[in-house]
Amino acid sequence: MSSPVKNTDKEAVKAKNKKKQRAVVICPGRGTYNKEELGYLQRLHSDKTEIVSLIDDFRDSKGQMKVSELDGMENYSMRTHTAGENASALIYACALSDYQAINKDEFDIVAVTGNSMGWYIALAVAGALKPKKAIELINTMGSMMTKGVIGGQMIYPIIDDEWKIDQEQEQKVMQCLTQANQPLDCEVYISIHLGGYLVFGGNKAGLKALEALLPVVQERYPMNLFNHAAFHTPLLHDVSKQAMTLMSAELFNAPEIPLIDGLGQIWQPYSCDVEQLHNYTLSTQVVEPYNFSKAIEVAIKEFAPDKLIILGPGATLGGAVAQSLISHDWLNLTSKADFIAQQKEAPYILAMGLAEQRKSVVL
């Protein structure tokens, strides 16, 4: 006579047989560690000592402030926390710790992408950069402008109140961009396609000219981004050249999870050309526009995920991702109201920087 199956055994079998949810992980960019995020590592990742120690040790060897110290400061400092050499490593530590906290029994990570600096984090998350190599690249790129930020960035919306792209508005903005570049001393370019927003990168004269031409909307745009350089524009040609000299393709290896870059290209584990990945990372995406909107389009259409998980710190990417979904009528989402209703009923986007949504992701 066979012995009865214990309830705990039944639960274990049930858990084992439960179908995992397919998820695409999205890594955050530079503007995601703000005043509200101070103490993120301490609050949520006191157990991630190995990750934080590795990053701290590397920065200590370079004479830089440890990320644990930055995160543990009593007060938030715009100048300190948003400086490239600090923000990049700090956000990487938070995002990588979040990734490790994802319940892998619940979620099958089918692809990874990121916005702007989030591309470097995506490389680490997907295994294309091993831990020691990842902090070397991220810290090096983040420290390129310690002697002075090259140019700046400005953000401007091209959507209506329902988060749909306004084609007429976009056309007018592009006309303003062309006009702003007419004076010989002005240089300003599209830096990032960010859902319903365009981020511009340029020199001081170019950004000032564009700001004067763009109508003020929502009483806050055009908005200059503090301590941000002219990322993803030709103005960073020398930075790219220096990065290529400092870091070879030997830092990289093929990813363990498919990677979606800022052109919408997919880097597959078994067909990745490491030399090309190195070239894209330190050359192409440094000096050419980063199309985060395209990356999200490829993520949903090529990988058909059940969920999109946005790593912390912060949750500012949620809007841009939602706007990208709306532009493709994904899940029949055609407006901001549709998206809000969907998120209340059965959230499709899970931002780990939001406590309520985080509960659905972590162990």
Structure confidence at residue 349 (pLDDT) = 98
pLDDT at position 3 over 80: no
Structure tokens at 328: 């493709």
Q: What is the CATH number of the domain that holds 184?
A: 3.30.70.250
Same domain, 217 and 241: no
Reported as a pLDDT band with limits 50, 70 and 90, residue 4 is low
Write out pLDDT tens, residues 127-150: 999 999 999 999 999 999 888 899
Give the pLDDT band (50/70/90) at residue 15: low
Are 75 and 200 in a shared domain?
Answer: no
CATH of the domain at 75: 3.40.366.10
The answer to whether residue 85 sits within a structural domain is yes
Amino acid, single-letter form, for residue 141: M
Instruction: Output the six-digit token pair for 122.
Output: 């995506």
Q: Are 357 and 350 in contact (CB under 8 A)?
A: yes
Residue 14 domain flag: no
Q: Does 351 lie in the same domain as 241? A: yes
Question: Of 173, 207, 235, which one is at a domain's C-terminal end?
Answer: 235
**Neighbouring C-beta atoms of residue 223, cutoff 10 Å:** 15
Indicate whether this model's pTM tops 0.85: yes
Choose the final residue of a domain: 235, 269, 293: 235
Write out the residue range of the structural domain in which residue 325 sits.
22-146+236-358
Going by C-alpha positions, the residue among 231, 233, 237, 291 that lies closest to residue 265 is 291
In this model, does residue 18 exceed pLDDT 80? no
Strand 152-157 and strand 223-225: pairing? antiparallel
Give yes or no: residues 175 and 319 share one domain.
no
Residue 8 — pLDDT band, cuts 50, 70, 90? low
Q: What is the pLDDT of residues 54-109, one digit of tens each?
A: 999 999 999 999 999 999 999 999 999 999 999 999 999 999 999 999 999 999 99
- What is the tally of structural domains in the chain? 2
